[in-house]
Structures are given as structure tokens and as C-alpha cells.
Amino acid sequence: MTTRTTVTVLGLGPMGHALAEAFLTNGHPTTVWNRTPGKAAGLVTRGARLAATAADAVAASDLVIVCVQDYEVVHRILDPAVDALRGRTLVNLTAGAPDAARKTAAWAAEHGADYLDGAIMTPIETINTPDAVLLYSGPAELYERHRPALDALGGTATFLGTDPGRAAAHEVALLDLFWTSVAGMVHAFALARAENISGAELAPLAKGIGQLLPSVIDDHAARLDAGRFDGDLSTIASAASALAHIVETAETDGVDAGVQRAALALFRRAVDAGQGGDGIARLAQHL
Ligand code: NDP
């Protein structure tokens, strides 16, 4: 039998709980702590040790995972426990801004702790399954050292480099894509409803639109990286015209069009600059 690394998990919201469960399932002796200790009950039944304080939890393991609401909460929990962190590795899987990750890495170094930042890009039900997607950044040697334990979380883990803010930077960009797309989806269904189109009627066609995105993403990324802004496939002027129809229809139907107006304004900036015949990759320069 191999000995599994002892792990501490701070934070037992839905995600922290799933992480602790994955470590337990994979045979890691696991200590947990949460502001609301009652959330540890199921984990304790499965063999986790519930620490009385965050400092006790940190002291219990060389590998400390924190996954709470935001970086402010990370510091609220760990600032008073900082002495216990000395000589240990903190892996912060809390979502946040790249700059907060860099500042937390500097704070950890100041207090003699090793620090790896991470981002979880998939929902809780993927943890400990092949569908989990995790991103990490920080010292490469640290990632390699703790990789066997972190593998308990399942799925695909990608190490993105030594800048501790790089995982969070990827996460923020990906969440930008996701949530602005979701805002567009919510608006599309509201607009459809105003035109007496039910959710069930629009959904199959809406999924077809979603399926166009992967090739649009590949094409956009390649053009951006190559500095190619020509409108050989579609132009900014044409897209601006489509957006104007969306805004007009929404406003006729009494549906708020604030988000779509903001998008239209971006496209129009490029048209006003004489770039209406260029492709949408050009828009990056207007941001
Ligand atoms: P939350 O983001 O709601 O975080 C809940 C955790 O934060 C709990 O442990 C909670 O403690 C703690 N917390 C909040 N405020 C305080 C405070 N003032 N002092 C001490 N502890 C506090 O839920 P999740 O577990 O879902 O998310 C954790 C992180 O994982 C987030 O950064 C989230 O963005 C990220 N994530 C979550 C995903 C998901 O599917 N849930 C997917 C991908 C990433 P208490 O229980 O006492 O309230």
C-alpha cells in the first residue's frame, strides 16, 4: 500500500466539500475546517478530522487547500493562522482576480509558506471525475511535488507557468466568455418570449448557434495571434447591422437592450474609425 499525502481543506461550501470528499475517496487522510462546522458532518462520518480552528487545520498537514468565496475570505481565515502556515504549501483554489493571486503569493512568501494558485473551471459534480478541469500556476517544482495528491481531484489539470496570477487570469478570461454568453442567451430567450416564441421552440435552434462557437473561437484566436484583421469571411459592418436589428426589435417589444446597445457601441466605434470592412478580430484594438 502507498501512503497518501495528508491534506487539509479549508472551506466547505459546495466546492470545498467536493474537494474534501475527493481526497477522502482517494485515501488521503483529510483534515477539514469551515466557519460553519456543521457542514463537515458528512465528511467526518466518512473519516475526515474536523479541526477546531483554522490554525489547527493548517498545522495538521503539509498540503493545505483553501477554497472559499473570494480572496478577502481567504485572508480573513488565514491571516490569523499565518504562523501555522510557515513551511507548508498553500494551494488556493478560490476564484479571484490575477492581481489578488499575485498579492496572496507574495504574502505567503513573506510568511515562509509555499504557494500555488489554482482555478477550477468546472462545476462540483465533475470533481473526482474525468470531466474536471483545473488550472494551476506558481513554482513548477511545487506543482510537480504535489501533483500526485492534486490528481485526486480528477480530470485534466494544466500547469500554466510560474506567474502565480496566470491561472486566475485564464479563469477571468474564460468566465468573461461564459457569463457574457449567458447574458446573451438570457436576453435572446426574453426577446423570443416577447415575440411569442416559447423556450422549447427556440432551444434546439439556440443550441445550433452555440455549436458555431468552437470554430469561431479557433478562427478568432488564429487571426488575433497572426495580426490578421481582414473581413474575408464576415465584416464588422455586417455584424453591427445585425446588432442594430436586435436592439430595435428589443426596444419595440419593451425588452431592455442595455447589454446589446453596449455591444453595438463597440462595433460602431470600429465602423466610425473606417474599419467596417474588417473582421471582428479588429475589435480587440477598440477594447
Ligand atoms: P462559495 O463561493 O459560496 O463559498 C463558500 C465558502 O466560503 C464556505 O466555506 C463559506 O463558509 C466560506 N465563507 C464565505 N464567507 C466567509 C467569511 N466571511 N468567513 C469565513 N468563511 C466564509 O461556494 P463554493 O464552495 O461553491 O465556491 C468556493 C470557490 O470555488 C469560489 O471561489 C467559487 O467561485 C469556486 N468555484 C465553485 C464552483 C461550483 O460549482 N460551486 C465551480 C468552480 C469554481 P460557511 O460555510 O461558513 O458559509
Residue 200 pLDDT grade (very low, low, confident, very high; cuts 50, 70, 90): very high
* Ligand 1 probe mutation, 69, 79, 104, most atoms within 8 A of CB: 69
CA 33 to CA 54: how far, in whole Å? Answer: 6
Cell numbers found for residue 174: 474564460
CA 161 to CA 173: how far, in whole Å? Answer: 16
- Percent of the chain past pLDDT 90, that is, above it, reads 98
Measured CA angle at 81 (ends 95, 48), to 5 deg: 75
* Each residue's pLDDT tens digit, 113-133: 999 999 999 999 999 999 999
CA 16 to CA 27: how far, in whole Å? Answer: 17
Nearest to 21 by CA among 4, 52, 46: 46
Ligand 1 atom nearest the C-alpha of 18 is 25
Q: What is the pLDDT averaged over residues 130-140?
A: 98
* Ligand 1 probe mutation, 8, 12, 15, most atoms within 8 A of CB: 15
Answer whether 254's CB lies under 8 Å from 194's CB. Answer: yes
* Each residue's pLDDT tens digit, 31-56: 999 999 999 999 999 999 999 999 99
Q: What is the pLDDT averaged over residues 133-157?
A: 97
Q: What is the pLDDT averaged over residues 163-177?
A: 98
Residue 7, phi then psi, degrees to nearest 5: -130, 145
CA 46 to CA 29: how far, in whole Å? Answer: 11
Residue 1 pLDDT grade (very low, low, confident, very high; cuts 50, 70, 90): very low
Residue 3 pLDDT grade (very low, low, confident, very high; cuts 50, 70, 90): confident
* Each residue's pLDDT tens digit, 60-84: 999 999 999 999 999 999 999 999 9
Ligand 1 atom nearest the C-alpha of 10 is 9
- Percent of the chain past pLDDT 70, that is, above it, reads 99
Which residues are 7's β-sheet partners? 30, 63
Helix/strand number for the chain, H first, E second: 11, 8
Q: Is 75 in the pocket of ligand 1 (CB under 6 A)?
A: no
Give pLDDT, residue 268. 98
Give pLDDT, residue 111. 97
Ligand 1 atom nearest the C-alpha of 36 is 47
Q: What is the pLDDT averaged over residues 259-277?
A: 98
Residue 24 pLDDT grade (very low, low, confident, very high; cuts 50, 70, 90): very high
Cell numbers found for residue 13: 461550501
Does 257 have pLDDT greater than 90? yes
CA 220 to CA 201: how far, in whole Å? Answer: 30
Give pLDDT, residue 198. 98
Residue 2 pLDDT grade (very low, low, confident, very high; cuts 50, 70, 90): low
* Secondary element (H or E) of residue 163: none
Would the CA dihedral through 77, 80, 81, 82 be positive or negative? Answer: positive
Mean confidence (pLDDT) of the chain: 97
Nearest to 270 by CA among 243, 246, 236, 225: 236
CA 276 to CA 269: how far, in whole Å? Answer: 9
Q: Is 81 in the pocket of ligand 1 (CB under 6 A)?
A: no
Does 147 have pLDDT greater than 60? yes
* Each residue's pLDDT tens digit, 9-18: 999 999 999 9
Q: Is 13 in the pocket of ligand 1 (CB under 6 A)?
A: yes
Does 107 have pLDDT greater than 90? yes
Cell 489539470 belongs to 157
